[in-house]
Structure 1
């Protein structure tokens, strides 16, 4: 049973769809079909929202490892993480069955559900959401055990992230908002079906899932200065196949750099603004079926 669900927006203060969805449901109520669920509606980082920035001092969504939670740190988000961990967790001994954290990306990823485990629950969730929303993408980040992730959602016994784009930071797009709302409702619909035992009577077909690979960084010179930008042929092609030899970067002196991987990959978070300072150009993924 999923007895307690925390729905969270505003983990990043300039990702507005989740913030607005939480506020709307606070003001107008959840759809009545979710009345049987115990759902709390939460805003994570109000200070960052007020400043319309991703974070004030440090990324809140990278604070939730056991090590960081146990290490004294006066950064605003580190202190906030302590409070949120007690509210939703504590991590590893959580009082919350399921944490659903809502995000936006500037990349053209559409409506993406990020799961951190490929167990029976999350495979069923992925299949259910994909069945409800054929346009949805499922991203599996199981490169490490669930509790080793630094994400806020891991304060729950189970946790997922909803990631919807592309949307510029600090603004609200209706189409992106509606996709966010639809995916949040699909996840809650799954919780209702899971609790009622009706999933066993439904044959959910296997679905396409993208398993996270590695981050690809921009080309840099010896001084650490960027020498290229995302190639126009790759821009906005999130989750589309990238074959060896296809262009990924255009250097500032006008030359193409091609994908040198040995096989086809599926790029995502392409040219994500939040990763600009980290020189991350995109992430790769393997296409699998679960």
Structure 2
């Protein structure tokens, strides 16, 4: 059974769709069709929201590794506001590995043109059924699988739950709200809650297999010896998240006017293209492969 659900907004304080959805549902109530579920509405980082920034000191959505949550570990010696907040959230939604919450749904926005994307961290039975249900009821959605390491090893807030997923919707600039992005966020949240209702009734056993994308690697911007960028995202790649990037196709335009091409032997499916939050990390985009769940 998936009954106790935490719907989280504001893990990043400038990603407005989840923040607004939580506020709206706190005001108007969760839609009545989900009354059989025990849903907690949760605002993760109020101080970052008030400052309209992603985080104050450290990225909250990287503070939930097992080591970080151990009070006596070297990593736990951090005194950042987000690290201390992660300890509190883990106590309230987790504890991680023995969670009181069946499912944590953490809502995010991206400046990349990823549309409505469901991020799952495992391909066990519940997640496959969830992915198939989402694709059946929201065909325009993308499913992104980040299972490059075990579920519990991720530092994401959603892993405080027995099950955890992220909603990632874009393109939306940081600190503002777009109607189309907000409505897509609301739709995916409602579809996920509807899945929980259907799953609890045993109605998700014969869902059609669906297309998904499995995370590959991060591709960095080209840098010179001084650490400065020598290129930008090529116009043919910009805004084409999850569109195949073919071998030999341009991915960067160098500032001298020459192109840098994708040298892989197979197509890849880029996403988080030119994501603003990854600017200081010099991450240009992430690759993925097409799979079937």
Pair in the same fold by TM > 0.5: yes
The residue number in structure 2 matching 1:73 is 78
The residue number in structure 2 matching 1:114 is 119
1:161 alignment partner, one of 159, 162, 166: 166
Q: 2: distance between equivalents of 1:72 and 1:241? A: 43
* Structure 1 spans left out of the alignment, 5+ residues: none
Q: 2: distance between equivalents of 1:198 and 1:118? A: 19
The question of 1:260 aligning with 2:254 is answered no
Q: 2: distance between equivalents of 1:14 and 1:77? A: 15
Q: Is the 8 A contact 2:13 2:50 kept in 1?
A: yes
The residue number in structure 2 matching 1:61 is 61
Q: 2: distance between equivalents of 1:159 and 1:139? A: 13
* Structure 2 spans left out of the alignment, 5+ residues: 71-75
The Cα of 1:224 is off from its aligned counterpart by: 1.0
The residue number in structure 1 matching 2:197 is 192
Q: Is the 8 A contact 2:3 2:196 kept in 1?
A: no
The residue number in structure 1 matching 2:248 is 245
The residue number in structure 1 matching 2:212 is 209
The Cα of 1:170 is off from its aligned counterpart by: 0.1
Q: 2: distance between equivalents of 1:232 and 1:128? A: 34
SS at match of 1:197: coil
Question: What is the count of residue pairs matched by the alignment?
Answer: 288
SS at match of 2:204: helix
The Cα of 1:275 is off from its aligned counterpart by: 0.2
TM-score by length of 2: 0.97
TM-score by length of 1: 0.98
The Cα of 1:116 is off from its aligned counterpart by: 0.4
SS at match of 1:285: strand
The residue number in structure 2 matching 1:235 is 238
RMSD over aligned Cα atoms: 0.6
Q: 1: distance between equivalents of 2:228 and 2:251? A: 18
Deviations 1:213-270 (A, max 9, x none): 0000000011111111000000000000000000000011111000011111000000
Runs ≥4 residues deviating over 6 A = none
Deviations 1:48-85 (A, max 9, x none): 00000000000000000011122121101001001001
SS at match of 2:135: helix
The residue number in structure 2 matching 1:15 is 15
Q: 1: distance between equivalents of 2:59 and 2:231? A: 26
SS at match of 1:271: coil
The Cα of 1:189 is off from its aligned counterpart by: 0.2
The Cα of 1:3 is off from its aligned counterpart by: 2.3
Segment of structure 1 superposing worse, 64-73 or 266-275: 64-73
Q: 1: distance between equivalents of 2:79 and 2:150? A: 28
